[in-house]
Amino acid sequence: MSSRITRALVVVAGLAAAASHAAPRYVQSPPLTQAVQVAVQEVRAGPVQVPLITWGGDIATIHANGDQTDTAKGSIFAEQGLDLRLVRQDQFTQQVADYLAGKTPYLRGTMGMLNMAAEVLSRDPRTKPVVIYQLTWSAGGDALVVKPGIHSAADLKGKTIALQAYGPHVDYLTKILSGAGLSTGDVTLRWLPDLTGSDDSPMAALHEAEVDAAFVIIPDALALTSNGTVGSGAEDSVRGARILLSTKTANRIIADVYAVRSDYLADHRKKVQAFVHGLMQGQERLQALFANRRAEQARYRGMITAAAQILLDSPQAVSDAEGLYADAEFVGYAGNRDFFATPNYPRSLSRLTGEIQQAFVGIGLMRSPFPLEQPDWDYDRLRQGLAQTGPASSERFDSQQVASVVARRQRQGTLAEGELFVFEIFFKPNQNTFSADLYQDAFARVIDLASTYGGAIITVEGHSDPMGYLRKKQAGEPEVVLGRIKQSAKNLSLSRAVAVRDSLLADAANQGINMDASQFAVVGHGIAKPSSGICGSDPCAPKNEREWRDNMRVEFRIIQVEAEESVFKPL
């Protein structure tokens, strides 16, 4: 069972599970206010019901509860004075119904799911959701598969895209489109009732001639692309299909969170904060147990077997439970502090909420924005008893391997291979400094893309004006002189690319944003790739001032490198 198979079975009224069809059954995707009609009631007394979904982050919740559904004596949650009952509920609409009916004060889902439900949850002030904790980011379990002819996100314009209605990929879609300067109005959406395992799923829809791309879980992506290469057309694959982007690269889009009812938080704030503190402790102990599983085989086996039973209904499903864990990137104390309490953090709760809701209103999933609230946690109190309170190491890449890959692609002329987004900034003749004041919009875009696509590398590519070279060649200068001019232009373009990168990183640091310097690779093209083109073996002479100025540029290219495993630092 995949980490996304049950996590996203968000089937609303009227979208019943489909029987097998020769062609997919497409559905509408109205707001959730039309799907859930439950009277609001007070939260019930007794053990507090806490929902789980089938996802790796929830293993930490189970571990904090003593690897049991009911809080075990001596467990982290018991030490916090909590009495909980963990209940797996992968059908999000049922979670919403239970939440409104008072069966549980908590809601568990992705930020996209929570925002889809924000309107129905906010109809009564008692149930208005307050987001209290971020568990994880999705780091490999979801993918966008495309047919031939789609090489970058910008190529999605005018295309037809299939995805599950009310599933985990809706905000994934809208973020990718916005990064390419597109909106949902630039594409045609085909909504499916199922996520996987039927003829009414995005995987099945990609076999249809009119569908160009589909958002799917990784097992379906591998099937469609002949095990992650290029689809051959045999068995379940689609000829020419490939993975354009997965959450291994787009690892800051799908955020898994907990929310709580406003009335319950007001009445039981200390208990809710104790729950959050217990989740942080549970994560730390879980990660330590995974890291030392050989030395602590008995404890590890007990933990992972319990997780397999609770999340997958089988104590034998250990390898699947381990797969769930591998797909999840835990954020811990530092990540929660960034998410909730760092105003300039590019992927904060407020920023995600704003971009998701703006997109959902455009699609028609919401009538108007409903800002999500957050608690003002005492982070000094939350850090007590935790070992990992500082920022995690931001260097995800092996800089030498990245430089080697980029240099090889530069020699082969394949730097654009795996390109997701590309844009340029321009400079004036003889300009060697690039302050953030001059390039504020461009730098903000790079910071956003780098933060969202933390598994991609970003090349900063300098280009130079070829006019000096062309004038010298026209004057009959010898090849040795011309060669020196080319090399000088290449050196200058490289130094400008370095200056732009350094200015960008300094700008981020001044804003309190921790960027991964290893994610950036600088390239100096010199006059080899002028905007005016190549005429024979030399750059074409600019025809006007605009072409001349367009050659003086630095290009940012966001490149997916998932296939280049050597560029990633080992965990």
CATH of the domain at 468: 3.30.1330.60
Question: Is position 27 within any domain?
Answer: no
Last residue of a domain, one of 226, 246, 266: 246
Lowest mean pLDDT among 40-49, 131-140, 331-340, 536-545: 536-545
pLDDT higher at 217 or 303:
303
Do 149 and 197 share a domain, yes or no? yes
**DSSP 8-state assignment for residue 42:** P
Question: Is position 392 within any domain?
Answer: no
pLDDT recorded at residue 8:
39
Q: 19: pLDDT confidence band, cut at 50, 70 and 90?
A: very low
- The share of the chain scoring above pLDDT 90, in percent, equals 69
User: Rounded CA gap, 268 and 274, in Å?
Assistant: 10
Question: Is position 238 within any domain?
Answer: yes
Last residue of a domain, one of 382, 412, 441: 382
Which of 213, 278, 265, 269 has its CA nearest to residue 244?
A: 213
Region 265-275 average pLDDT: 97
pLDDT recorded at residue 420:
87
Do 447 and 557 share a domain, yes or no? yes
Question: Is position 353 within any domain?
Answer: yes
The answer to whether residues 254 and 115 touch, using CB atoms and an 8 Å cutoff, is no
pLDDT higher at 265 or 369:
265
Do 186 and 222 share a domain, yes or no? yes
Lowest mean pLDDT among 211-225, 288-302, 417-431, 434-448: 417-431
Question: Is position 465 within any domain?
Answer: yes
Q: What is the CATH number of the domain that holds 222?
A: 3.40.190.10
Question: Is position 430 within any domain?
Answer: yes
pLDDT recorded at residue 324:
86
**DSSP 8-state assignment for residue 187:** S
Do 377 and 515 share a domain, yes or no? no
Last residue of a domain, one of 221, 246, 271: 246
Do 318 and 360 share a domain, yes or no? yes
Strands 538-539 and 534-535: antiparallel
User: Rounded CA gap, 423 and 147, in Å?
Assistant: 24
Q: Does the structure show a pLDDT above 50 at 20? A: no
Question: Is position 7 within any domain?
Answer: no
Q: Does the structure show a pLDDT above 60 at 10? A: no
Region 169-182 average pLDDT: 91
pLDDT tens digits, one per residue of 379-438? 999 999 999 887 766 688 999 999 999 999 888 888 888 888 898 999 888 888 899 999
Do 39 and 171 share a domain, yes or no? no
pLDDT recorded at residue 54:
86
Do 346 and 472 share a domain, yes or no? no
pLDDT recorded at residue 13:
33
pLDDT recorded at residue 22:
63
pLDDT recorded at residue 3:
42
Do 130 and 270 share a domain, yes or no? yes
**DSSP 8-state assignment for residue 328:** E
Mean pLDDT over each residue of the chain, to the nearest integer: 90
Query: For residue 185, how many other CB atoms are within 10 A of its CB?
Result: 9
pLDDT higher at 225 or 428:
225
Do 459 and 415 share a domain, yes or no? yes
Question: Is position 388 within any domain?
Answer: no
User: Rounded CA gap, 79 and 83, in Å?
Assistant: 10
Instruction: Report residue 522: phi and psi, to 5°.
Output: -95, 145
Tokens of 206: 């990609």
Do 207 and 267 share a domain, yes or no? no
Do 320 and 454 share a domain, yes or no? no
Range of the domain at 331: 33-137+254-382
Task: Kindly state the helix (H) or strand (E) to which residue 194 belongs, with its residue range.
Answer: none
Do 113 and 49 share a domain, yes or no? yes
The answer to whether residues 340 and 379 touch, using CB atoms and an 8 Å cutoff, is no
Q: Does the structure show a pLDDT above 60 at 347? A: yes
Region 513-525 average pLDDT: 93
pLDDT recorded at residue 18:
35
Q: 562: pLDDT confidence band, cut at 50, 70 and 90?
A: confident
The number of domains in the chain is: 3
